[in-house]
């Protein structure tokens, strides 16, 4: 199962909980729960999240945990302060862009569709255009978030490719220079005439050429 499907499923469950939670008695502890989630995020990133990258923020588990907590808190705040008429509804826009950058671009699409479905089912009867305008805005915002996510993903791939190319070039240059230095050292140790002198000159020219090529690529 691909990461996109897994992440989408987890976020859909998070959205469902964020819509159900405000209807329970636990809603009175909203501040404590939000604070507890951020403490959990801090402790998890510091002690429990596996570090597959040099920077723990680059860990896929860390990004998924951030996405789940931010999604729940933002939607919880919106749903407890008026839903579509909440003064904090704009936070959902920032959430969609954040999810696109933290996870995969397609996440913005699945998240938006889930939000639209839940908001539509939660609408009272005979609502006017003004009440459904926030839902329409989500639909129009999604393509921009999807585009941004794809551009960011391509930029990250290009950056990684450039880093790998630079690393490979450095390794190649190091091995070549080491080999030429070895040839020069051998020629110097066995120096008896023009033949060894010519080998030293040839190796020196090749080293100089390799260094120039490396500097030009850098």
* pLDDT 10s digits, 176-205: 666 666 666 666 556 555 555 566 667 666
Q: Of 7-16, 82-91, 145-154, which range is least confident?
A: 145-154
**pLDDT for 217:** 58
Q: Could you tell me the pLDDT band of residue 13, with boundaries at 50, 70 and 90?
A: very high
Q: Domain spans of the chain?
A: 3-157, 161-217
Residue 213 reports pLDDT greater than 70: no
Residue 84: the pLDDT is 83
pLDDT of residue 192: 56
CA 31, CA 50: separation in Å to the nearest integer?
29
Q: What's the pLDDT band for 173 if we cut at 50, 70, 90?
A: low
Please name the residue that has the structure tokens 């190091």.
174
Q: Report the mean per-residue pLDDT for the chain.
A: 75
**Residue 136 pLDDT exceeds 70:** yes
- By the 10 Å C-beta count (0-12 exposed, 13-18 middle, 19+ buried), 174 is classed as exposed
CB 57 within 8 A of CB 44: no
The CA distances from residue 151 to 4, 72, 108, 113, in Å, are: 17, 26, 14, 21
Looking at per-residue pLDDT, the higher value among 131 and 168 belongs to 131
The whole-number pLDDT of residue 53 equals 46
For residues 171 and 175, what is the distance between their CA atoms, to the nearest angstrom?
6
The residue ranking higher by pLDDT, 163 or 80, is: 80
Interior CA angle at 198 toward 202 and 207, to 5°? 20
Q: What is the pTM assigned to this prediction? A: 0.67
Angle among Cα 144, 145, 149 to the nearest 5 degrees reads 115
Query: Average of pLDDT values for 62-76?
Result: 87
Summarize the confidence of residues 72-98 as an average pLDDT. 87
Average confidence (pLDDT) over 36-54 = 70
Q: Which alpha helices (DSSP H) does 44-128 contain, by range?
A: 60-80, 91-102, 106-121
37 pLDDT above the threshold of 80: yes
Given a contact cutoff of 8 angstroms between Cβ atoms, the answer to whether 142 and 107 are in contact is no
Would you say 50 and 61 are in contact if contact means Cβ atoms under 8 Å apart? yes
Higher pLDDT, 117 or 163: 117
């Amino acid at each position: 199962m691909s990461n996109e499907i897994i992440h989408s499923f987890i976020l859909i469950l998070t959205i469902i909980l964020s819509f159900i939670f405000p209807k329970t008695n636990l809603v009175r502890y909203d501040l404590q729960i939000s604070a507890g989630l951020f403490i959990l995020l801090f402790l998890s990133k510091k002690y429990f999240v596996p570090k597959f990258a040099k920077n723990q923020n680059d860990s896929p588990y860390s990004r998924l945990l951030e996405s789940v907590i931010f999604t729940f808190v933002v939607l919880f705040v919106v749903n407890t302060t008026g839903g579509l008429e909440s003064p904090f509804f704009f936070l959902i826009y920032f959430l969609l862009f954040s999810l696109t950058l933290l996870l995969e671009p397609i996440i913005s699409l699945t998240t938006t569709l889930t939000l639209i479905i839940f908001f539509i089912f939660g609408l009272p009867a005979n609502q006017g255009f003004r009440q459904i305008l926030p839902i329409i805005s989500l639909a129009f915002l999604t393509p921009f978030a999807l585009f941004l996510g794809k551009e960011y993903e391509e930029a990250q791939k290009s950056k990684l490719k450039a880093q790998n190319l630079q690393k490979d070039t450095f390794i190649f240059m190091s091995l070549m220079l080491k080999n030429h230095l070895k040839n020069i050292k051998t020629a110097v140790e066995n120096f008896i005439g023009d033949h060894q002198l010519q080998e030293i000159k040839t190796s020196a020219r090749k080293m100089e050429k390799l260094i120039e090529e490396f500097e030009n690529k850098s």
